[in-house]
Every structure is written in C-alpha cells, then in structure tokens.
C-alpha cells in the first residue's frame, strides 16, 4: 500500500547492487507527456485509465519495456506492483519473487504526509480514497500471495535490516 516502505526497501536493494525500476515512474512519464501536473488525483486517474484501456498489466508492460531497454543487470527490483497480472508480466523476464511490505494505515498516512511529494494526500479523506483506489486495482492479492513479507511496524533500521536479509539471500540464490 502507499507509504508502507516499498521505496526504502528498494533503496536497500540498490545499495546491494540491484537496479531499481519504479512503476509509478511510468505513470509520471505518461502524465508528463499529457502535460498533467503530478497530483494524486491526476496520477490516480491516469493509473486507472491506463489499466482500463490496456488491461490490468498495462503499467507493468510499460515498465517491462523500460527494463528490457535500460537494464544492465540481472538483479532488478520493481517497486510498485499493484496486482498479480503485473507480477506475472515480470516473471516472464526470468526468476522473480514477490516481496510485500506492510505497515499500518496510521503509520502510512503519517509517512505520506511527511514525504510531501506532489501526490501526497492532503487529508485523511484523500488518503482513504487513495487506499480504496489501490485496493480496486487488486493490490491486496499480491500482498496476500507474496513470497516474503516485511512488516514495517518499528524502526527504519529494522525495516532496512529485514530488507537486506532478503536481498542478500536473493543475491546468493537462496530465495524463490
């Protein structure tokens, strides 16, 4: 879910030599092409439109194309899968595991407000609406079906430590 700590986990992977591809970047790139300001409303509307027109894996296909064109490594982390069809799209590239990061709604809301990105929620109502939108595209299923789950309920150091443990196992070929 938004604000759970996915980007922090991806940053740990990057520090360990993984390339990072963020699916939200594909939506932001599309928004820029359309001259849409990158607000939560605009990006959310565009995310839904892209999936409505191109299928549930539409954004994954966009990201997969970037990976195929830009990646220089066999170690790739994709940040932002929202449904199982997206994960299956990436499995076509090679061995893949799904890692879910979970945090309470209270923790996620607080973090998103502090992050102050252009798409950060402006109120609790907008945060809850964003959660409903994310759930409507199927984000609950990959969380439930994940190979590894990181519970982000305490410190940033513990989140990073757990992510490091998983990514080191991946590098050594001991996962999935």
Query: Which CATH number covers residue 11?
Result: 3.40.50.300
Q: Is residue 47 part of a domain?
A: yes
Domain count, the chain: 1
| Contact predicate 56/85, CB 8 Å | yes
Q: How far apart are CA 116 and CA 47, in angstroms?
A: 20
Which pLDDT does position 175 carry in this prediction? 52
Q: Is residue 56 part of a domain?
A: yes
DSSP 3-state of 20: strand
Q: Is residue 176 part of a domain?
A: no
Residue reference for tokens 């892209």: 50
Which pLDDT does position 174 carry in this prediction? 53
Which tokens go with 37?
A: 């300001």
- 20-52 pLDDT per residue, tens: 999 999 999 999 999 999 998 899 999 999 999
Q: Is residue 32 part of a domain?
A: yes
Q: Is residue 162 part of a domain?
A: yes
User: Which uninterrupted H or E stretch holds 167?
Assistant: helix 156-171
Q: Is residue 85 part of a domain?
A: yes
Residue reference for tokens 């194309």: 65
Average the pLDDT over 124-140 and give the result: 94
Q: Is residue 1 part of a domain?
A: no
Which tokens go with 155?
A: 């410190």
Q: How far apart are CA 87 and CA 139, in angstroms?
A: 11
Of 56-60, 61-65, 67-71, 113-117, give the lowest mean pLDDT range.
Answer: 113-117
Domain of residue 71 covers 6-171
Number of Cβ within 10 Å of residue 52's Cβ equals 11
Average the pLDDT over 4-8 and give the result: 94
Average the pLDDT over 132-143 and give the result: 94
Q: Is residue 42 part of a domain?
A: yes
């Amino acid at each position: 879910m938004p604000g759970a700590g996915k980007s922090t986990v991806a940053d740990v992977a990057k520090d360990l030599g993984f390339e990072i591809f963020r699916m939200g970047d594909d939506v932001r790139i599309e928004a820029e092409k359309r001259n849409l300001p990158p607000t939560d409303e605009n990006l959310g509307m565009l995310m839904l439109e892209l999936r409505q027109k191109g299928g549930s894996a539409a954004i994954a296909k966009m990201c997969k194309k970037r990976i195929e064109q830009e990646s220089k490594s066999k170690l790739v982390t994709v940040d932002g899968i929202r449904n199982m069809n997206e994960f299956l799209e990436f499995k076509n590239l090679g061995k893949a595991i799904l890692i879910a990061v979970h945090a309470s709604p209270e923790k996620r809301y607080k973090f998103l407000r502090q992050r102050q990105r252009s798409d950060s929620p402006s109120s609790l109502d907008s945060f809850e609406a964003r959660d409903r939108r994310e759930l409507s595209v199927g984000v609950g299923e990959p969380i439930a079906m994940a190979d590894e789950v990181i519970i982000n309920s305490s410190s940033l150091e513990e989140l990073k430590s757990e992510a490091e443990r998983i990514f080191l196992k991946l590098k050594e070929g001991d996962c999935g």
